[in-house]
Structure 1
């Protein structure tokens, strides 16, 4: 059976390859740029891929073979909030273009805070509502008015 670190290294290499391919959609250098906007993301992605390759080599050379699938199942049972946060973020990314920034962000923040502050009482609910409204409208105002960037 593969170890957790072996599966992690392989999955990070796959993610690195996908992210590297996505950098080709970033516009190239302009007359005032030496390297272009894709340079820094590629440096970060290359670092991630290099460290993942080192982890892969280390795991292939070590004799440690634990049951990664059993370890992952145990992690899912013990860390439900982390997995729930990942699912909520995926739903947020799905809903964002469909319902718009303000609605999707308020729902995402409310659900995330409810997940993290479980069990929710009246005080936490009011604070959560204030954070959802304030953060969403604050970010929207800064991007739309100050920076001139349209949000979905």
Structure 2
């Protein structure tokens, strides 16, 4: 069985997430709060363990398949897209205190999604807009309304 860099990284992350997951279950529960301090870390670490295991499986399958002669499996590097993604994240961080969480998140998700795969039709633009609006709305409702985490208000918008 052959394994590559992705498989090794997946195994390391799987081991780390499983160790931390066990430790999250050992956190003391609070009698006043129904959800203890280890609840959300356990959820995140469970997803991390699942994603790491999937990465290992994908790498093993990739290395098990016979390599086609003369075809390079090295992906083409797109540094321009990496720079654009960093610029979009930087703009999000800069606009967050000015526009507020809801509006800045809509612009961030929509802008990053458009940069990664530019929509080519009106239907794709509508899907991109719906995803951006939905992401901002769901994350706002979960954090602001359910978890009672105060999200940034915009100095320019007031919300």
Question: Which interval holds the TM-score relative to the shorter structure?
Answer: 0.3 to 0.5
Greater share of helix:
1
Which TM-score applies when normalising by structure 2? 0.45
Task: Give TM-score, length-normalised by structure 1.
Answer: 0.47
